[in-house]
């Protein structure tokens, strides 16, 4: 018999620019889905001139940041010297590895809109100290069936593979419908999965789902049945259960408290991560690592 899916409520969190977003991972009841260890859903929202996303320069270690842009435009700048505008339908994938810094800003001084998901992928032990890298993927495979458009953001599905370079067995799909639609999504049975509605409402294998709830499925499933009655969009993530204990603190994913403390000292001293040029927002200050439960991230994670 199939295990009952778990409903996990996202919480609201604030990111740079005073933007309130929904944070679905990490969750009190579930830290990871495969190697996916963080999931923020921003928007859809419209903002006045000067608004939108303004996350000043900040560092990362031990993870990849994976940004899926649905509406709006955000400028990514990093300490490798990359400056990349991400536009709708594109993925930005930044591999922090041993360390990188970046900033993300909606175009300054202009009114606009924003709808995006930003996820982190924990790097496995053998890859987590690799050199940092950044890539923009302007084209992801699209499969259309039953009224749904399935965009393969990461991994493989429907016989199509995403070009995004990842280091664990995982999958990420954006599934959108403009009206009444049905779709059976074949799954890799060894993966665990989770679904998050980004707009509208979708019934996922009998569970009514709307934005703000992450629906988790344990390994052993062969497919999910999606049904929408009107325009809707759903993000599906999955992967081999991550077999390593990770520590997530602020913008760092590591294994030991000392690694986190060292990264905090290095960033606040202006060392190791390099400089990000051109961001209109001020650099963020890493919170001191004192008497904390390293499994719970403080507010202000970006
Ligand atoms: Mn970041």
Predicted confidence at residue 87, as pLDDT, reads 97
- Is 113 exposed, middle or buried, given 0-12, 13-18 or 19+ CB atoms closer than 10 A? middle
Predicted confidence at residue 300, as pLDDT, reads 47
How many angstroms separate the alpha carbon of residue 146 from the centre of ligand 1?
A: 36
**Residue 238's closest CA among 5, 1, 2?**
5
Q: Are 227 and 24 in contact (CB under 8 A)?
A: no
What are 155-172's pLDDT values in tens digits? Answer: 999 999 999 999 999 999
Look over the chain and give the mean of its residue pLDDT values, rounded to a whole number: 94
Instruction: Decide if pLDDT at 274 tops 60.
Output: yes
How many angstroms separate the alpha carbon of residue 41 from the centre of ligand 1?
A: 14
How many angstroms separate the alpha carbon of residue 211 from the centre of ligand 1?
A: 23
How many angstroms separate the alpha carbon of residue 11 from the centre of ligand 1?
A: 19
| Max Cα distance, the chain (Å) | 55
pTM: 0.95
Start-to-end CA span in the chain (Å): 39
What are 14-39's pLDDT values in tens digits? Answer: 997 789 999 999 999 999 999 999 99
How many angstroms separate the alpha carbon of residue 241 from the centre of ligand 1?
A: 24
How many angstroms separate the alpha carbon of residue 222 from the centre of ligand 1?
A: 34
Average pLDDT for 147-154: 98
How many angstroms separate the alpha carbon of residue 251 from the centre of ligand 1?
A: 7
Predicted confidence at residue 1, as pLDDT, reads 57
Indicate the DSSP class of residue 206. Answer: T
- Is 98 exposed, middle or buried, given 0-12, 13-18 or 19+ CB atoms closer than 10 A? middle
Share of the chain above pLDDT 90, in %: 90
Least confident segment among 2-16, 160-174, 205-219, 250-264: 2-16
**Residue 37's closest CA among 300, 297, 299?**
297
Domains and CATH numbers, the chain: 6-239 (2.60.120.10)
How many angstroms separate the alpha carbon of residue 143 from the centre of ligand 1?
A: 30
What residues flank ion ligand 1 with Cβ within 5 A? 302
How many angstroms separate the alpha carbon of residue 179 from the centre of ligand 1?
A: 34
Share of the chain above pLDDT 70, in %: 96
How many angstroms separate the alpha carbon of residue 131 from the centre of ligand 1?
A: 17
How many angstroms separate the alpha carbon of residue 59 from the centre of ligand 1?
A: 7
- Say whether 268 sits in a helix, a strand or coil: helix
CA distances 143 to 140, 146, 291, Å, are 10, 10, 49
How far apart (Å, rounded) are the C-alpha atoms in residues 270 and 282? Answer: 13
How many angstroms separate the alpha carbon of residue 96 from the centre of ligand 1?
A: 10
Q: Please list, in sequence order, all residues whose beta carbon lies within 8 angstroms of the beta carbon of residue 156, skipping any fewer than 6 positions away.
A: 162, 171
């Amino acid at each position: 018999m199939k295990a009952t899916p778990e409903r996990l409520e996202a919480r609201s969190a604030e990111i740079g620019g005073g933007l309130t977003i929904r944070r679905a991972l990490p969750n009190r009841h579930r830290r990871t889905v495969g190697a996916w260890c963080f999931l923020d859903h921003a928007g859809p929202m419209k903002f006045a001139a000067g608004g939108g996303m303004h996350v000043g320069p900040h560092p990362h270690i031990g993870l990849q940041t994976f940004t899926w842009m649905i509406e709006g435009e955000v400028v990514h700048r990093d300490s490798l010297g990359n400056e990349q505008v991400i536009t709708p339908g594109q993925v930005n994938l930044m591999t922090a590895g041993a360390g990188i810094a970046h900033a993300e800003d909606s175009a300054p001084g202009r009114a606009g809109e924003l709808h995006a998901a930003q996820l982190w992928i924990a790097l496995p032990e053998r890859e987590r100290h690799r050199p940092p890298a950044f890539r923009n993927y302007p084209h992801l495979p699209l499969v259309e069936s039953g009224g749904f458009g399935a965009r393969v953001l990461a991994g493989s599905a429907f016989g199509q593979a995403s070009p995004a370079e990842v280091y664990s067995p995982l999958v990420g799909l954006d599934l959108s419908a403009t009206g009444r639609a049905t779709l059976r999504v074949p799954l890799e049975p060894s993966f665990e999965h989770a679904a998050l509605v980004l707009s509208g409402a979708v019934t996922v294998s009998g569970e009514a789902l709307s934005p703000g709830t992450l629906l988790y499925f344990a390994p052993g499933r062969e497919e999910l049945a999606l049904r929408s009655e009107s325009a809707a969009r759903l993000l599906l993530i999955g992967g081999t259960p991550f077999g390593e204990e990770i520590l997530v603190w602020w913008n760092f994913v590591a294994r030991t408290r000392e690694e986190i403390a060292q990264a905090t000292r290095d960033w606040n001293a202006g060392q190791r991560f390099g400089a990000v040029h051109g961001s209109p927002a001020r650099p963020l200050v890493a919170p001191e690592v004192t008497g904390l439960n390293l499994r719970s991230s403080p507010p202000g994670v970006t």
